[in-house]
Amino acid sequence: MFYRVLMKDHIRVAPKYFGLDLNMALFKSVKLKYDGVIDPGLGIVVDVCNIKDVGDGMVIPGDGASYYETSFELVTFKPELQEVVQGKIKDIADFGAFLSMGPIDGMIHISQTMDDFVSFSKEKVLTGRDSKKILKVGDGCRARVIAVSFKDITNPKIGLTMRQQGLGKLEWIEEDNTKTAPSAEVKEAKKPKTK
């Protein structure tokens, strides 16, 4: 899920930014420090929104840069357990599929792609034996987060499933919805008759 987070930090403004407006210099410095940061508490920092409050600046001897206690807003992406996410299949391997869901990819193990025996072909396609459902690169899908690990901070792991109702390839979901939706004739028959 995407969040707007209010942060407070001492931001170092390098001398190369001294000619800029203070807010612009701080904005550039915050972006330099936080863009793309991965943190278990924050998630993945996607962008810096704006600078909120700026305290008095100070210079630390021997550094030459100025430091400001600054409040700012970040946009972060932090997947939560049981959250439903939507994305596109980025890659398929013999062990599963990778779903691109914004700034990070999640992995759907082959056993979690559909309720069927699934086979992998060299053309990077997963096929259900009985259902004949096909999953390929570029397909839009909806999945549920079942595992989140920030153990390796440089490469967080997100585990996904598509085996629950309302999940899977978007075309499969649409087909299921049309099968379960009552037809117009049935709806008409259920209407009370008026005189």
Using the Cα atoms of residue 89, residue 92, residue 96 and residue 98 in order, give the sign of their dihedral: negative
Domain boundaries, the chain: 2-77, 84-179
Domain covering 2-77, topology:
Dna Ligase; domain 1 (3.30.1490)
3-state secondary structure of 172: helix
Please report, for residues 20, 23, 97, 120, 127, the alpha-carbon distance to residue 52 in angstroms, rounded to integers and kept in the order given: 17, 9, 41, 51, 51
CATH superfamily of 84-179: Nucleic acid-binding proteins (2.40.50.140)
Q: Is the pTM of this model over 0.75?
A: yes
- Report d(CA 75, CA 77) in Å as an integer: 7
pLDDT tens across 131-150, in order? 999 999 999 999 999 999 98
Query: Are the folds of 2-77 and 84-179 the same?
Result: no
pLDDT tens across 19-39, in order? 999 999 999 999 999 998 999
What residues does 54 pair with on adjacent strands?
70
